[in-house]
Amino acid sequence: MNYNIRKYQSSDYEMICSWWKANKMPYPAKDFLPSTTYILCNDLGLPLVSVALIVTNTSYVAWLELLIANPEVTKEERKDACKTLLTHMINITKDLGYKNLLCLAPNKKLEHFYNDLGFKTELKDSSMLVMQLNKGDVCHQ
Protein backbone atom coordinates (compact mmCIF):
# COMPACT_ATOMS: atom_id res chain seq x y z
CA MET A 1 0.00 0.00 0.00
CA ASN A 2 1.16 3.53 -0.71
CA TYR A 3 1.25 6.00 2.15
CA ASN A 4 1.56 9.73 2.56
CA ILE A 5 3.20 11.20 5.66
CA ARG A 6 2.31 14.73 6.60
CA LYS A 7 2.76 17.09 9.51
CA TYR A 8 0.05 17.43 12.14
CA GLN A 9 -2.23 20.46 11.88
CA SER A 10 -4.28 21.85 14.76
CA SER A 11 -7.43 20.84 12.85
CA ASP A 12 -6.34 17.18 13.34
CA TYR A 13 -6.64 17.42 17.12
CA GLU A 14 -10.26 16.24 17.51
CA MET A 15 -9.68 13.31 15.16
CA ILE A 16 -6.59 12.13 17.03
CA CYS A 17 -8.30 12.55 20.39
CA SER A 18 -11.19 10.42 19.16
CA TRP A 19 -8.66 7.62 18.58
CA TRP A 20 -7.46 7.82 22.20
CA LYS A 21 -11.03 8.00 23.47
CA ALA A 22 -12.02 4.93 21.40
CA ASN A 23 -9.15 3.05 23.06
CA LYS A 24 -10.26 4.31 26.51
CA MET A 25 -6.94 6.08 26.96
CA PRO A 26 -6.17 9.54 28.31
CA TYR A 27 -5.45 12.06 25.59
CA PRO A 28 -3.14 15.08 25.60
CA ALA A 29 -4.18 18.70 25.85
CA LYS A 30 -4.16 20.46 22.48
CA ASP A 31 -1.06 22.53 23.27
CA PHE A 32 0.78 19.38 24.39
CA LEU A 33 1.18 18.11 20.81
CA PRO A 34 4.39 19.47 19.28
CA SER A 35 4.67 20.83 15.76
CA THR A 36 6.83 17.78 15.04
CA THR A 37 3.83 15.45 15.21
CA TYR A 38 3.28 13.43 12.04
CA ILE A 39 0.31 11.61 10.55
CA LEU A 40 0.48 8.74 8.07
CA CYS A 41 -2.44 8.49 5.62
CA ASN A 42 -3.32 5.77 3.14
CA ASP A 43 -3.40 6.43 -0.60
CA LEU A 44 -7.03 7.60 -0.30
CA GLY A 45 -6.03 10.24 2.28
CA LEU A 46 -7.49 8.42 5.29
CA PRO A 47 -5.37 9.11 8.41
CA LEU A 48 -4.14 5.84 9.91
CA VAL A 49 -1.60 6.63 12.63
CA SER A 50 0.05 9.56 14.39
CA VAL A 51 3.23 9.99 16.42
CA ALA A 52 5.10 12.95 17.90
CA LEU A 53 8.83 13.47 17.55
CA ILE A 54 10.18 15.38 20.54
CA VAL A 55 13.45 17.02 19.56
CA THR A 56 16.00 18.28 22.05
CA ASN A 57 18.81 20.81 21.88
CA THR A 58 21.41 18.06 22.11
CA SER A 59 22.39 15.56 19.46
CA TYR A 60 22.31 12.81 22.09
CA VAL A 61 18.58 12.05 22.28
CA ALA A 62 15.17 12.64 20.74
CA TRP A 63 11.84 11.06 21.77
CA LEU A 64 8.97 9.37 20.01
CA GLU A 65 5.78 9.85 21.95
CA LEU A 66 2.00 9.72 21.69
CA LEU A 67 1.76 6.92 19.12
CA ILE A 68 -1.91 6.30 18.32
CA ALA A 69 -3.67 4.55 15.46
CA ASN A 70 -7.09 4.94 13.88
CA PRO A 71 -9.30 2.30 15.55
CA GLU A 72 -11.65 2.16 12.54
CA VAL A 73 -9.16 0.41 10.26
CA THR A 74 -8.16 -3.24 10.41
CA LYS A 75 -5.54 -4.53 12.82
CA GLU A 76 -3.28 -5.41 9.88
CA GLU A 77 -3.58 -1.88 8.44
CA ARG A 78 -2.79 -0.33 11.84
CA LYS A 79 0.24 -2.54 12.35
CA ASP A 80 1.66 -1.89 8.88
CA ALA A 81 0.95 1.85 9.15
CA CYS A 82 2.62 2.05 12.58
CA LYS A 83 5.68 0.19 11.33
CA THR A 84 5.92 2.43 8.26
CA LEU A 85 5.54 5.68 10.21
CA LEU A 86 7.94 4.64 12.98
CA THR A 87 10.55 3.53 10.44
CA HIS A 88 10.18 6.91 8.73
CA MET A 89 10.58 8.69 12.09
CA ILE A 90 13.69 6.64 12.91
CA ASN A 91 15.20 7.71 9.59
CA ILE A 92 14.29 11.38 10.16
CA THR A 93 15.89 11.25 13.60
CA LYS A 94 19.07 9.69 12.18
CA ASP A 95 19.16 12.33 9.44
CA LEU A 96 18.87 15.06 12.10
CA GLY A 97 22.03 13.66 13.70
CA TYR A 98 20.59 12.23 16.92
CA LYS A 99 22.49 9.36 18.52
CA ASN A 100 19.57 7.86 20.45
CA LEU A 101 15.82 7.68 20.07
CA LEU A 102 13.70 6.99 23.14
CA CYS A 103 10.07 5.97 23.35
CA LEU A 104 7.59 4.95 26.03
CA ALA A 105 5.61 1.75 25.74
CA PRO A 106 2.59 1.78 28.08
CA ASN A 107 1.99 -1.94 27.59
CA LYS A 108 3.89 -5.13 26.72
CA LYS A 109 2.30 -5.42 23.29
CA LEU A 110 3.65 -2.02 22.25
CA GLU A 111 6.99 -2.77 23.92
CA HIS A 112 7.36 -5.91 21.78
CA PHE A 113 6.34 -3.95 18.68
CA TYR A 114 9.11 -1.41 19.37
CA ASN A 115 11.55 -4.25 20.10
CA ASP A 116 10.81 -5.71 16.66
CA LEU A 117 11.84 -2.35 15.16
CA GLY A 118 15.21 -2.47 16.95
CA PHE A 119 14.48 -0.65 20.22
CA LYS A 120 15.93 -2.21 23.38
CA THR A 121 14.04 -2.26 26.65
CA GLU A 122 16.18 -0.32 29.13
CA LEU A 123 13.84 0.25 32.09
CA LYS A 124 11.30 -2.22 33.33
CA ASP A 125 8.38 -1.41 35.59
CA SER A 126 8.92 2.34 35.35
CA SER A 127 6.36 5.12 35.60
CA MET A 128 5.98 8.35 33.69
CA LEU A 129 5.66 11.24 36.11
CA VAL A 130 4.45 14.76 35.36
CA MET A 131 4.71 17.92 37.42
CA GLN A 132 2.30 20.60 36.28
CA LEU A 133 4.15 23.94 36.47
CA ASN A 134 1.39 26.24 35.25
CA LYS A 135 -2.37 26.02 34.96
CA GLY A 136 -3.66 23.93 32.10
CA ASP A 137 -4.30 20.28 31.48
CA VAL A 138 -1.62 17.87 30.36
CA CYS A 139 -3.96 14.96 29.69
CA HIS A 140 -7.72 14.43 29.68
CA GLN A 141 -9.54 11.28 30.69
What pLDDT is attached to residue 106? 81
Q: What are the residue boundaries of the structural domains of the chain, listed by start?
A: 3-140
| pTM of the complete model | 0.87
51, 89 Cβ separation under 8 angstroms? yes
Q: Answer positive or negative: Cα dihedral of 37, 129, 61, 85.
A: negative
pLDDT tens for residues 13-34?
A: 999 999 999 988 888 888 889 9
Write phi, then psi, for 42 (nearest 5 degrees).
-80, 180
Separation in Å, CA 33 to CA 41, 74, 106, 108, 117: 18, 26, 18, 24, 24
- What CATH number belongs to 3-140? 3.40.630.30
What pLDDT is attached to residue 10? 93
The ranges of the chain with pLDDT < 50 are none
What pLDDT is attached to residue 131? 65
Which H or E run includes 113? helix 108-116
Separation in Å, CA 114 to CA 11, 15, 80: 28, 24, 13
What pLDDT is attached to residue 123? 74
